[in-house]
Amino acid sequence: MRFMMLVKSAKHSGPPPKELMDAIAKLGEEASRAGNMVETGGLAPAAMSTRVRLAQGKITAIDGPFAETRELVGGYAIFEFNSKQEATESALVFMELHRKHWPGWEGETEIRQIFTMPDYTCESGSLELKRNSAQGS
């Protein structure tokens, strides 16, 4: 099963310390050797992004920065695991690196299972997730 992990912080804390980045690189190398890591990357600041929004029948493109930003998504990773439990354990290790190497930083890692077309069925006349596709725990 594939999982995307989104790293979010409550506020802009500046660039991460070198020690944290070194520890994350080592963790990434280990995950790659184990065959779990599919892809990873950091994201540009919200000030450099664009939001395309559909509201009241109109589509608009709005360039950052965004005043209403409550949390910042700083990076992501895509992993292949046998269960949601394995994904959660991996995120706990990742967050421990933040606690150890970036004291005072606060944030979260959101774990989302990735579904592809084989995970869906149209048996009821509309697209639905198959029952066994979300049993990743």
ω before 45 within 30° of 0 (cis)?
no
Provide the 3-class DSSP secondary structure of residue 86: helix
Residue 133 has pLDDT above 70, yes or no: no
Residue 74: predicted pLDDT: 87
Give the model confidence (pLDDT) of 109-124 as tens digits.
999 999 888 777 777 7
State the pLDDT at residue 134: 59
To the question of pTM greater than 0.85 for the whole model, the response is no
Least Cα distance to 117 among 130, 101, 107, 132 occurs for 130
Q: Which residue has the higher pLDDT, 12 or 91?
A: 91
Statement: residue 50 has pLDDT above 50: yes
